[in-house]
Amino acid sequence: MHELRFRQIHLDFHTSPHIPGIGEKFDKKQWQDMLKTAHADSITCFSCCHHGMSYHPTKLGQMHPGLKFNLLREQIDASHEIGVKVPIYFTAGINNLIAERHPEWREICVDGSHRDWNPGELKPGFRSLCFNSPYLDYLCDLVAEGCEMFPDADGVFLDIISQGECCCKHCVRDMLAEGYDPESQEDRYKFSRRTLLKYYQRVTETVRGIDPKMPIFHNSGAVKAGNRAILPYFSHLELESLPTGGWGYDHYPLSAAYCRQLNMDFLGMTGKFHTTWGEFGGFKHPNALRYECAAMLAQGSKCSIGDQLHPSGALDESTCRLIGAAYAEVEEKEPWCRKVQGAGKTALLSNTAFNDMSGTGHSAPPSETGASRMLQELHIPFDLLDKESSFDAYNVLVLADDLRISAELQQRLDAFLAKGGKLILSNNALLKSGEDVPAFDLPLEYSGVNPLYPDFIRPAETAAPDFINTPFVMYRPSQRIKVTGGESLGQIYDPYFNRTYLHFCSHQHTPYKPDPSGFDAGIMTDQILYFAHPVFGLYAAYGTVALKHFVGKAMDRFLGDTRQIKTNLPSQGRVSLMYQPAENRYILHLLYANTILRGSTVEMNGGNVRDSKPIEVIEELNPVYDVTADVSIPAQVRKVTLEPQGVEIPVQEENGRYSVTLEKLCCHQMVVFHC
């Protein structure tokens, strides 16, 4: 397995050919001093950018007209002198120079328009190219030229790996020749998948044909759960997730939860920008990067911070100090984060993978996102599983909302239950695939979907939020169940009627009838906890606090003493538990930061900048005090230390559970249980 370094910089350099003086301020000493200031140990530098410009001599492409020397060679040599690795970057899915030279290689949409980032020939933006056109031959030759010119490069990074339902003349010709129907959306999608695999095979063969040991990564943002067919073409994974760039702070943990169990080293990629890529002069607060890097370490990954080099070629001092504030801390923490594996005993089954949506390009469905968000806020570490994942390492499996039970999955879940495992289900996850019949032998009567919505829940006393005792609204329909045994989670109250032009009430929806409907909000048995509503998708959509408290109290009661981690951290706190086999120690990561939504949606007339939108920001890192953590550790613990401080702290043990208290937590603390 290729092992990554912890403190990487991804140095974008997409530079217009209309800008002069490229690299004229590059100075080896300044470059090295800035990398040391940033505490960086790897920096990805550019061979060829989105504009199609190369930053070294080339026989195939075009060296940037404003560049007078081999900039990439100088960057590699200066970095290597101080022990910093340099993977090299190639644009792949877009290349404006080649789009202008060969418009017949561009991707064409079904309606005949070009599939570009900013559609319209009179609009600024990058142009997408088709991997099924002769462009793929050109790209392979360009990558080969770079690898042969820079054999001492420390890896190859290829960007913008995507292929739409292209209808260019090359795709239509080959679809017809290979038995696909160009007029069928399903066939166009299948052919796009075939084309992407062709890309992966050809480009990876090109790189490995020159150097079989050269690390290689193909960037399409993230690896979708279940899309394992592409993994043989990767040496490692880099998970792009800029919290302020549109991904948000809950995106990376879900992505990492899947990649963590693929037996590949991986890193998280954030950015130093206030917004996202291509923002010159934009800076987030150093505390934000400190938290983001700590959160990557807590997920078992390495770190990468995105920056964009000024056309002059000089690294920005403010940026390097900003990065250095985070990477100095990462450097201290590395010994407890190297070669770790997730030790969480809960797993979320990926709706994307089990519903065969892998590789479609769609983001995670709301149910998957909501379940991840809920588990994080309830401080339950989890992995994300696909069809090929084993259930053996887990005590609890979560199946969210729209994941129906196939015959194959039924067999696996029955075996899991037979071994004493527990299931948490919601809404359709109760039902068999293809028929509205419960898949599990539960003491309940099933009567289909409630035709009236939104309906309301009055929770049972054991699951009721502390601050309400009347029915609260659920915005999507429930499955109608009547509990005949086990424990009911509460009662459903129906509205008087659905809202139509014939009858409606007030501004939003109809209120509930005074008497319960006779149906239940869910059921709890010894091994199965079921919520009748799509609680996870609803939480992703609305973020209802009452709903989270209802689900959280039910989960807490269901898991009881089998709950792996119990802590008094606020909901914004995050926890994870890692195991370091070589040192036989467990590392509990505790994180806390206050995020705040700043900015607003404003149309920025003129076109020189993007429209603004609210951004989730971290500025201050406020401490929390007297943080308790009670952790189940499957081994005898000799001592507990705070790291990297090296301070031993008191611990109380009872029945394999170890309890510690931190007087103060600011941003991130590793609590190490030495076995």
Q: Which residues contact 513 (CB under 8 A, 6 or more apart)?
A: 493, 494, 495, 496
Q: What is the pLDDT of residue 273?
A: 95
Spans of the chain, pLDDT less than 70: 357-364, 605-607
Q: Strand 62-63 vs strand 42-48: parallel, antiparallel, or unpaired?
A: unpaired
Continuous segment of H or E residues that includes residue 215:
none
Q: What is the pLDDT of residue 288?
A: 96
Q: What is the pLDDT of residue 357?
A: 67
Residue type, 290: R
Token pair, residue 47, equals 């061979």
Domains 7-338 and 346-563 share a fold: no
Instruction: Give the count of beta carbons closer than 10 Å to the beta carbon of residue 134.
Output: 12
Tell me which residue of 262, 191, 277 sits closest to 228, measured CA to CA.
Answer: 262
Q: What is the pLDDT of residue 123?
A: 83
Query: What CATH architecture applies to the domain 566-674?
Result: Sandwich (2.60)
How far is the C-alpha of 411 from the C-alpha of 409, rounded, in Å?
Answer: 5
Continuous segment of H or E residues that includes residue 23:
none
DSSP secondary structure string for all residues of 76-102: HHHHHHTT-B--EEEE-SB-HHHHHH-
Provide the residue ranges of all domains of the chain, joining segments of one domain with +.
Answer: 7-338, 346-563, 566-674
Asked whether the beta carbons of 592 and 626 are under 8 A apart, the reply is no
Token pair, residue 208, equals 């490995």
**179 torsion bin: left (phi>0), alpha (psi -120 to 50), beta (else):** left
How far is the C-alpha of 400 from the C-alpha of 392, rounded, in Å?
Answer: 20
Q: What is the pLDDT of residue 606?
A: 63
DSSP 368: H
- CA distances to 142, 488, 594, 647 from 625, rounded to whole Å, are 56, 37, 14, 18
Q: What is the pLDDT of residue 605?
A: 67
Instruction: Give the count of beta carbons closer than 10 Å to the beta carbon of residue 295.
Output: 26
Q: What is the pLDDT of residue 58?
A: 98
CATH of domain 7-338: 3.20.20.80
The verdict on domain 346-563 having CATH code 3.30.70.20 is no
How far is the C-alpha of 441 from the C-alpha of 211, rounded, in Å?
Answer: 56
